[in-house]
Amino acid sequence: MRIGKRSNLVWPALVAQIAFPHEESRPQLQAHDEQQDSELKQALFELLDQFLIERERPHGVSKIFEQYSEWNQIRKQELEDTARRSRDS
């Protein structure tokens, strides 16, 4: 959800996309230097901390699933709208 689109990437690649959102090339496919590796680890632990905070809130797990479900429905609708426009044009 954080990258704003559907993705079938493994979690290290998702962390790389979040840590380096402006990279032109795919950061998850590149070798990382020490500085990038440090930034990736920091991003990973920040994401884990955010998740654990959300999960520990009252009804946290259900809210996480609910947010994902809503986000997923929006993405599905966008895909259907795009396919419909393609067929109509």
What mean pLDDT comes out for the span 7-33? 72
Amino acid found at 21: P
What mean pLDDT comes out for the span 58-80? 88
Confidence band of 30 (pLDDT split at 50, 70, 90): low
The full DSSP string for 72-88 is HHHHHHHHHHHHHHHHH
Could you tell me the pTM of the whole model? Answer: 0.62
**What is residue 4's DSSP assignment?**
S
Instruction: Tell me: pLDDT of 4 over 70.
Output: no
d(CA 85, CA 5): 19
